[in-house]
Structure formats: structure tokens, C-alpha cells
């Protein structure tokens, strides 16, 4: 019964993790909400990809957070909660995707499908002239 008070004070639920691979590729797991304080902190991390909550704030606030996180792609988690809401939830997710695209054109929001695997490949190749 005291979990909500604990979560509001800070728990593992609201921690964020920045994982930097030996190659320098950075993965952010964002555990917080979409308030202005979060947006200011998110700008510091500059990950290549992120797994970020799809919080209950407005779609504008979420898109502002996602644009601040930036990077090549953001995979929202907890998005299936909105999918369970039917058309309203789907519309909300689509708004977040579009508003993020408008604010950060280089950042894709990818809503993963349940039970599907995704492969992220990063590669730099020198093309030799023939």
C-alpha cells in the first residue's frame, strides 16, 4: 500500500540508465515522466537510441521530452497500456509520433509490436571507388 509514496520519492521505477557500449554507441533507458525538469536533464544524455516511458502527461509534453532525448530512435515502453484503450489510446500514440517528428525530424518513434523482435544494426563502411 505504500508503493505509490515510495515511487513518488524515487524508486527503481523512476531511475534512468545510460549504457555506453565500447564502440561509443549510447542507449538510454528513461524511467521518468515528461515534466520540464525531466526535459532539461534529458538534453544532457544525447543517446543513439532510447527506451523511454510513454507517460500519462499530454502528447505535447511527451513529444517535448522525446525531442529533448533525441537520437536516432525512441522505443516507448508502457505503450501497450494505451493500445488497450482502443481508438483513443492509438490516437494518442500517433499524436506523440507525429509531434515528435515535427520537433525532432531525425528521431523516429518506433512502437514495438508485442511478441516481435527488433534488430538494431549500426555500421560505418568505407566505400571503395572502383
Which helix (H) or strand (E) element contains residue 6?
helix 3-9
Contact 14, 31 (CB under 8 A): yes
Q: Which of 19, 24, 83 is nearest to 51 (CA)?
A: 19
pTM: 0.78
Task: Tell me how far apart the alpha carbons of residues 33 and 21 are, in angstroms, rounded to a whole number.
Answer: 25
pLDDT in the model for residue 40: 83
Pick 62 or 124 by higher pLDDT.
62
| DSSP character string of 88-111 | HHHHHHHHHHHHHHHH-TT-EE--
Calculate mean pLDDT across residues 86-108. 92
- Of 95, 98, 50, nearest to 71 (Cα)? 50
47, 50, 52: which is closest to 25 by C-alpha?
A: 47
Whole-angstrom distance, CA of residue 62 vs CA of residue 69: 11
Average pLDDT, the chain: 83
pLDDT tens figures, 20-76: 999 899 999 988 778 788 888 888 889 999 998 887 788 999 999 999 999 999 998
Percentage of the chain with pLDDT > 90? 38
Amino acid at each position: 500500500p505504500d508503493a505509490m509514496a515510495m515511487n513518488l520519492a524515487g524508486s527503481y521505477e523512476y531511475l534512468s540508465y545510460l549504457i555506453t557500449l565500447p564502440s561509443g554507441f549510447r542507449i538510454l533507458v528513461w524511467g521518468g515522466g515528461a515534466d520540464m525538469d525531466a526535459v532539461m536533464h534529458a538534453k544532457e544524455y544525447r543517446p543513439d537510441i532510447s527506451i523511454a516511458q510513454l507517460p500519462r502527461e499530454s502528447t505535447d509534453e511527451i513529444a517535448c521530452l522525446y525531442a529533448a532525448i533525441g537520437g536516432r530512435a525512441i522505443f516507448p515502453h508502457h505503450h501497450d497500456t494505451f493500445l488497450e484503450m482502443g481508438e483513443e489510446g492509438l490516437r494518442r500514440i500517433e499524436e506523440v509520433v507525429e509531434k515528435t517528428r515535427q520537433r525532432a525530424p531525425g528521431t523516429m518513434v518506433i512502437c514495438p509490436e508485442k511478441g516481435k523482435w527488433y534488430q538494431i544494426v549500426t555500421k560505418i563502411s568505407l566505400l571503395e571507388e572502383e
